[in-house]
C-alpha cells in the first residue's frame, strides 16, 4: 500500500488544510501529512482513506480514517485546538 504525500492531495483539500493551519497560527512545514489513498479492506480496494499527520518537531502523530467526503479536516482542526500536537 503506497502512501501519497500532501502534494498529491486535491487542490481544494490542500487549501482547506492550509486555512485550518493558518487559523491556528501553524504552518504546513510543521507537519508531515500523507495518506494511503485507498486502504485495503479484506484485500479489496475500499473507499476508506487513512490520513496520517505528524508534527515534525515532536513526532506526535494522529491517524484519521475517512472516506472521500468525511470531515477529517474538521477532526484535525479540533485536535489542533485541543493542543494534541503541542510539545
Q: What mean pLDDT value characterizes the chain?
A: 87
In angstroms, rounded to a whole number, what is the distance separating the alpha carbons of residues 3 and 39? Answer: 10
Question: Quick check: is 39 in a domain?
Answer: yes
> Which domain range does residue 33 map to?
4-81
Number of domains forming the structure of the chain: 1
Among candidates 9, 12, 11, 25, which has minimal Cα distance to 64?
A: 9
Q: Of how many residues is the chain composed?
A: 87
Q: Is the pLDDT of residue 85 over 90?
A: yes
In a domain, 86, yes or no: no
Task: Quote the percentage of the chain above a pLDDT of 70.
Answer: 82
C-alpha to C-alpha distance for 53 and 57, rounded to whole angstroms: 12
pTM of the model: 0.84
What digits encode the pLDDT tens for the residues 30-66?
999 999 865 545 555 556 789 999 999 999 999 998 8
Residue 71's pLDDT is 84
How many Cβ atoms are within 10 Å of 73's Cβ, its own excluded? 16
Per the domain annotation, does 13 fall within a domain? Answer: yes
Whether 87 maps to a domain, the answer reads no
The whole-angstrom separation of Cα 85 and Cα 58 is 8
Amino acid at each position: 500500500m503506497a502512501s501519497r504525500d500532501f502534494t498529491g492531495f486535491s487542490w481544494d483539500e490542500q487549501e482547506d488544510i492550509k486555512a485550518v493551519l493558518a487559523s491556528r497560527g501553524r504552518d504546513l512545514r510543521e507537519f508531515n501529512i500523507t495518506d494511503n489513498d485507498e486502504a485495503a479492506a479484506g484485500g479489496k480496494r475500499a473507499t476508506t482513506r487513512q490520513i496520517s499527520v505528524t508534527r515534525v518537531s515532536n513526532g506526535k502523530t494522529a491517524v484519521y480514517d475517512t472516506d472521500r467526503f468525511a470531515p477529517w479536516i474538521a477532526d484535525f482542526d479540533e485536535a489542533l485546538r485541543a493542543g494534541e500536537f503541542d510539545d
